[in-house]
Structure 1
């Protein structure tokens, strides 16, 4: 058997002892420490395959078994890294931040409780979007999910990492209402109204009495979330929309400045995303179908791809949801605003309750086909995302695009970018697609990413989430008052988790005992 990765201060004997105790508590069928197990829990899209290797994994099936794992972890000071389903590809997947950690795989915890009157659901970590979608359909419930473009992950895991979808309920973190959390010392806490015994309002009112803690467990390592309440959107009476294409890179300014006010006024209540030509084309074709030229694609090749698939340089899909009278009035506003902006093309869509509903992220149906973009370069495809938050302003968007596009060209990479609307902000999601079988290309990714972070930092823009490799780098960019937020995070971490066992290094939060690993 190959050498087992060990966390700092561990010996193989100590790991064997911890493993034996875990097997005694959980049973051998829930403990995974063989070579194949460790390979299975590696980051499939890692830039550097030598990093973030786990020592093994455990797969508890209940809160009591999670508590048992944490007892062993505290006894041995063994770092554990919770995952829901481990499908957060491009951000680390199933791998831990700290090599030698034991992955706490919660994917076997799959209970669903649904309140059909209020449209709330209580899920465990292993409930995926397909699981919940099937549950809603099987029980003929009049509600729609909100799903990310690649929907094979955990409903809980996505919300806790601030994932987004495309309906009016698309900012998933905002829809969290009540958590159950196993704290590092094994205590079980319910937040909000869940702190009140037998409260029927746990999933109805997000705050409770006193401080509201739900958001403390988002992108943090302060505890292990075992249940999450979430609000779902009632099935609307109608959905009307426009699929709009624009011809030139500089048209991004017009698109942002026209769509932004409609979003802020809530004429548009959904979360639209402006994407460039490659976001559409990379799932339909490969680069080698068009050219073998090195470096970033030329304008001539880009034009040929666009003509083949009849797409603009930028495209966006806009939808309005609700009662038919409201959607028709909103659509009149939307149609005029976008038509006056001078698009390359506009295609109208419509759906009324009772009509056949084609599967789409716009109506909350899970999809996975967008992940085909990782085949763009061939070989073992992968990607990571660089996603700074910027003001919802056309000039700011064009300037951010120009800086980023120049870096893509500098590092010889093909640009796949989008600008996703919140109510007051834009998230500039840039997919760095690569071929893991091309060592020369892989050698460019790290300096490329670091250059993008530095460019964004210079203009006051920070990422909203990032890959395991860059959690320390990104955390360091949040530097107001000498890193006061970082100090607060670590004070809380050390108070709640004095042995530093839960996900050390997650989001750049390092506990005492592992602080020497920061930046490593």
Structure 2
């Protein structure tokens, strides 16, 4: 199958552009064969994924090579789709939003540039994976901990720049970035904050600089290509404790979320708390057919079987505590007092102290176990995530959960829900699991996703992160003052990237006419 042409290029024009790329980074690092392009197609695509097929792949190994590719892309009018490692599964993987873009694969840029154990930070390139950084810290016996997301085979920086999360005090990954180096759409190179100084001794110590702070410009945007950044790490604590809470009834969500959210606001619990349904718990250790193989959505009776057999609740949460031993022990007693009487059983905490095996701790340890959930329906599985942001109010969330659960059941999809509780907000991760080989299910999933977007927007809840197939749909919901934010984004995009070279259309910015 021939490659789609990027933009408005002729076959000859595109061939000249690829030749120029090869001259800049080496011919073996510019790929345009069908087999190569196939490996970048979204493995969870709704359909064959060819509507997001790339035209070629360029894989630079350094900041200078990124600058060269970006400048050549402007010269030849070739749109680029940067990816750190291409593992943003559930959001499109490595595939570009716009068919025919050349993927700018940064995975060869995988250096841990610096780690400062005293000041507790690192400087890394976008190709550094969670496993890479974890192993670097462990191999060098550094007393620093990192935060990891549920599925950890992607890029540390890529996840942070897309506002991904983990489950430690450093779990708001975007907040841990301090100092960014980025190539602008014209090939210019900048460093933000104190890195704007030639020496920049405070670059990884202080997030701001002098004048406007431009770091946020590179989060979930298409206004440049991040080539390295500083990341704050957690100094190893004296003690941790972890416990699992199981809430037996669906209606427990109201009081439980209020209690957990209050502890989160007060920083008794210092991490994002996942409050999840039975299907969420079961999907990583079993398949749907183990519980129910009938038509329609899985019934509550099957969820009750999960609850009994797996020893879980209708809602489940894992709590981690970190700090000095006396502090952690006091927090354990506080949590016991709040939850044990209402749950009706003693909570079993697992504690860790320095010198104990790492797997006993509540530290972030990379894992891909969560990916097992895509096998839920069988066939070639996939998942699609819709996670609107809402206030951390128990009654509001319970009412919303009832409504969304009913709609899942109406369209015939199993209700997989988790509510990730932050300091002042909750993300309702309405995960949609599916079998790509079932066309009827794929149609239901698209219908369900579009309904979830509309339903959330009607209540004033906006998605925090978007799949490549729905970026425009999500951007449309941010409609204050006739989409004033989109107009601002587009003005900045037009100024910095007049040729619309970097990720056209990403998150609704700079959509090609």
TM-score (norm 2): 0.98
Q: For 1:125 and 1:212, locate their aligned partners in 2 and report how far apart those are by CA, in whole Å.
A: 21
CA contact (8 A) 2:7 2:77 kept: no
Which residue is 2:66 aligned to?
66
CA contact (8 A) 1:247 1:343 kept: no
Which residue is 2:131 aligned to?
130
CA contact (8 A) 2:116 2:122 kept: yes
Which residue is 2:462 aligned to?
462
Which residue is 1:29 aligned to?
28
Asked whether 1:425 is paired with 2:420, we answer no
**What's the secondary structure of 2:135's corresponding residue?**
helix
Which residue is 1:167 aligned to?
168
Matches within 5 A, 1:503-518: 503-510=503-510, 514=512, 516=513
Q: For 1:357 and 1:106, locate their aligned partners in 2 and report how far apart those are by CA, in whole Å.
A: 31
Query: Deviation at 1:344?
Result: 6.5
Which residue is 1:188 aligned to?
189
Gap regions ≥5 residues in structure 1: none
Which residue is 1:471 aligned to?
471
**What's the secondary structure of 2:231's corresponding residue?**
strand
Q: For 2:291 and 2:346, locate their aligned partners in 1 and report how far apart those are by CA, in whole Å.
A: 25
Matches within 5 A, 1:381-420: 381-420=381-420
Query: Deviation at 1:359?
Result: 6.5
Which residue is 2:277 aligned to?
276
Matches within 5 A, 1:294-443: 294-342=295-343, 346-358=347-359, 362-443=362-443
Distance 1:47 1:359, change over 3 A: farther
Matches within 5 A, 1:60-99: 60-99=60-99
Which residue is 1:248 aligned to?
249
**What's the secondary structure of 1:427's corresponding residue?**
strand
1:59-98, Cα deviation, whole Å (9 max, x unpaired)? 0001111111111110111100000001100001100111
Which residue is 1:146 aligned to?
147
**What's the secondary structure of 1:338's corresponding residue?**
helix
Query: Deviation at 1:7?
Result: 2.8
Q: For 2:293 and 2:156, locate their aligned partners in 1 and report how far apart those are by CA, in whole Å.
A: 40
Q: For 2:177 and 2:401, locate their aligned partners in 1 and report how far apart those are by CA, in whole Å.
A: 32
**What's the secondary structure of 1:420's corresponding residue?**
strand
Higher deviation after alignment, 19-28 or 255-264 = 19-28
Higher deviation after alignment, 261-270 or 135-144 = 261-270
Q: For 1:255 and 1:348, locate their aligned partners in 2 and report how far apart those are by CA, in whole Å.
A: 18
Q: For 1:285 and 1:343, locate their aligned partners in 2 and report how far apart those are by CA, in whole Å.
A: 28
Query: Deviation at 1:422?
Result: 1.1
Q: For 2:97 and 2:264, locate their aligned partners in 1 and report how far apart those are by CA, in whole Å.
A: 37
Which residue is 2:2 aligned to?
3
Query: Deviation at 1:423?
Result: 0.5
Q: For 1:275 and 1:288, locate their aligned partners in 2 and report how far apart those are by CA, in whole Å.
A: 20
**What's the secondary structure of 1:114's corresponding residue?**
strand
Query: Deviation at 1:15?
Result: 1.2
The root-mean-square deviation of aligned C-alpha atoms, in Å, is 1.2
Higher deviation after alignment, 364-373 or 282-291 = 282-291
Which residue is 2:266 aligned to?
265
CA contact (8 A) 1:79 1:101 kept: yes
Which residue is 1:447 aligned to?
447
Q: For 1:383 and 1:119, locate their aligned partners in 2 and report how far apart those are by CA, in whole Å.
A: 35
Q: For 1:409 and 1:10, locate their aligned partners in 2 and report how far apart those are by CA, in whole Å.
A: 47
Distance 1:293 1:345, change over 3 A: farther
**What's the secondary structure of 1:243's corresponding residue?**
strand
Distance 1:256 1:343, change over 3 A: farther
**What's the secondary structure of 2:351's corresponding residue?**
strand
Q: For 2:66 and 2:150, locate their aligned partners in 1 and report how far apart those are by CA, in whole Å.
A: 30
Query: Deviation at 1:270?
Result: 1.4
Query: Deviation at 1:325?
Result: 1.1
CA contact (8 A) 1:245 1:345 kept: no
Query: Deviation at 1:345?
Result: 6.5
CA contact (8 A) 1:258 1:341 kept: no
Q: For 1:296 and 1:321, locate their aligned partners in 2 and report how far apart those are by CA, in whole Å.
A: 40
